[in-house]
Amino acid sequence: MFHKMAVSKTTGAKVKSHFIEEAPSAKEGLAAYAQFVGEQKIEELLKLGEELRGTKVQQVNSARVGGGVAEMLQSLIPLEQALGLDVKWDVIKGDYNFFVFTKTLHNFLQGKPGALDILGSKMYWDTNRANYKMIDHQADVIFIHDPQPAGMITYLPPEVRERQKWIWRCHVQLDTALCLMMDFIRPLIELYDAAVFSSRLCTPRWHIAPFVVLPYIDPFSDKNRRLTDREVKAVLKKFGIEDPSKKPLITLVSRFDPFKGHVYAIEAFKEVRKNLPCQLLLIGGTASDDPENVAIFEELTEKVKGIPDIHLINLPPYNHLDVNAVQWASTIILQPSVKEGFGLAVTEGMWKGKPVIGGNVGGIPSQIADGYNGFLITPGEKGIPEMADRITHLLLHPTLAGVIGSRARETVRERFLITRGLWDELMLIKSVMKNHLYRL
Ligand code: UDP
């Protein structure tokens, strides 16, 4: 199975010409990445792909667009297909109340105190049962992303369960100290063959074979490809953002979510702006599985009222080019999260050669070495003066900002491009297929 369109989108113009005639070979599909990672890595990937040719894989998550999971799957799946794996991607359906419940669950898993309500939990199981029919009994490996579809495994007939490998891919920063929540998720995840986490620091000691796969970005996606000055300027104009060469632009790209630290960014910006001209851009949208967006956006709208030089923008879905353009245009990128599974928005900013100031939580310290390729700050209110201090320092020392930014780009080139993610996932598939699983 091969999706021509998807591959052309991933690798950009070079592959587009294949679309009309014939699908590119795996070699052609991957060749463009050699400019970043070298020919040898591509050869190794092709060899590994050859070993796994024909393996049937099903990926299941809860949103086709919006947020880091969809972001990675959009680019990963076409490359897996190009290598000859038979991969399909399905998205579970649920009503508004299901996603309110799963967002609450998500927040609890990241450490927000509270207890699940019984009605919501019934809805969780009903929705998982209703979606279960999408599971392909012929698949060799099933990847379930995050807690929303995790319950489907319980509806699987034993003979199919025996044949298939089920992998739970966790993208949130689990707070395993909260027993109440762990009573819900832990027994469920221990039904799986393996679980994958975004950082070793966030890997719980459960009775499950654990793997760590650090997330990654696709340098050819609309989110990350190099844009022309004209494209960037057009986006700035559309949003009414002043020329960053005259008034430096400090940007936070994120879903409007309580853990992302928007309020801290606003406070730090207010401090900096007392002494230096600059503008703050808070830009993001929502994911279809995240119903909190509207309320948080309204709160922020109130909060920024009357503060000059703040742009608060709620984007429609499919906003990759807009996000890409503002990241390229930024002087500094902020990600002051208080919890963060990994933080792809950090990776994206670093790839664009920007100094990123991020909360010292979850997957962010896996990307930023404080003072070398970015800055880490204390999460939460305590981090506000640190953030203001680092922003001021970078604005006053543009040469240093440039050096930090180029180290940031190099970090991403070495460790966080999709070719490495593809390699990790293929190795994971190989391990589970061969039963090389060691439960803790
Ligand atoms: N994103 C986007 N549009 C938005 C908000 C976020 O495309 O309006 C993207 C962002 O560029 C990044 C991903 O969604 O690729 C967010 O991933 P991250 O790991 O930073 O956070 P998550 O949303 O998964 O918690």
Amino acid at 409: R
Are 239 and 161 in a shared domain?
no
Q: Whose CA is nearest to atom 9 of ligand 1?
A: 67
Residue 29: per-residue pLDDT? 76
- For the chain, the average pLDDT equals 91
236: CATH: 3.40.50.2000
The response to whether residue 291 sits with its C-beta less than 6 Å from ligand 1 reads: no
Q: Which atom of ligand 1 is nearest to the CA of 320?
A: 7
Tell me whether residue 224 is in a domain: no
Rounded alpha-carbon distances, angstroms, from residue 427 to 66, 79, 417, 420, 436 = 27, 15, 16, 11, 11
Residue whose CB lies within 8 A of the most ligand 1 atoms, among 73, 253, 364, for a mutation test: 253
Are 294 and 151 in a shared domain?
no
pLDDT, one tens digit per residue, over 157-172 is: 999 999 999 999 999 9
Q: How far is the CA of 255 from the centre of ligand 1 (A)?
A: 6
Residue whose CB lies within 8 A of the most ligand 1 atoms, among 62, 76, 255, for a mutation test: 255
Amino acid at 435: N
The response to whether residue 86 sits with its C-beta less than 6 Å from ligand 1 reads: no
Q: How far is the CA of 336 from the centre of ligand 1 (A)?
A: 14
Are 130 and 263 in a shared domain?
no
Q: How far is the CA of 176 from the centre of ligand 1 (A)?
A: 24
Q: Whose CA is nearest to atom 23 of ligand 1?
A: 67
pLDDT, one tens digit per residue, over 110-143 is: 888 877 787 889 999 999 999 999 999 999 999 9
Are 241 and 383 in a shared domain?
yes
Are 247 and 309 in a shared domain?
yes
Are 285 and 367 in a shared domain?
yes
Residues 6+ apart with CB under 8 A from 258: 107, 112, 292, 296
pLDDT, one tens digit per residue, over 355-409 is: 999 999 999 999 999 999 999 999 999 999 999 999 999 999 999 999 999 999 9
Q: How far is the CA of 59 from the centre of ligand 1 (A)?
A: 19
Residue 22: per-residue pLDDT? 44
Are 57 and 195 in a shared domain?
yes
CB count within 10 Å of CB 105 equals 23
Q: How far is the CA of 181 from the centre of ligand 1 (A)?
A: 25
The response to whether residue 260 sits with its C-beta less than 6 Å from ligand 1 reads: no
Tell me whether residue 192 is in a domain: yes
Tell me whether residue 275 is in a domain: yes
Q: Which atom of ligand 1 is nearest to the CA of 315?
A: 8
Residue 361: per-residue pLDDT? 95
Amino acid at 89: W
Q: Which domain holds residue 67?
A: 4-216+418-433
Are 60 and 25 in a shared domain?
yes
Q: How far is the CA of 61 from the centre of ligand 1 (A)?
A: 15
Tell me whether residue 223 is in a domain: no
Q: Which atom of ligand 1 is nearest to the CA of 69?
A: 24
The response to whether residue 265 sits with its C-beta less than 6 Å from ligand 1 reads: no
Tell me whether residue 26 is in a domain: yes
Tell me whether residue 404 is in a domain: yes
Contact 91, 60 (CB under 8 A): yes
Q: Whose CA is nearest to atom 17 of ligand 1?
A: 68
Tell me whether residue 385 is in a domain: yes
Are 171 and 273 in a shared domain?
no
The response to whether residue 348 sits with its C-beta less than 6 Å from ligand 1 reads: yes
Are 259 and 206 in a shared domain?
no
Q: Which atom of ligand 1 is nearest to the CA of 286?
A: 8
Per DSSP bridges, beta strands 165-169 and 194-197 are parallel
Residue 21: per-residue pLDDT? 36
In terms of Cα–Cα distance, which of 327, 347, 366, 315 is closest to 75?
A: 347
Tell me whether residue 439 is in a domain: no
Per-10-residue mean pLDDT of the chain, 440 residues long, equals: 36 34 61 95 96 98 91 95 96 95 90 80 96 98 98 97 97 80 88 94 89 96 96 98 98 95 98 98 85 91 98 91 98 97 96 98 96 98 98 98 98 98 97 86
Are 254 and 341 in a shared domain?
yes
Q: Which atom of ligand 1 is nearest to the CA of 345?
A: 20
Are 390 and 410 in a shared domain?
yes
Split into its structural domains, the chain has a count of: 2
The response to whether residue 345 sits with its C-beta less than 6 Å from ligand 1 reads: yes
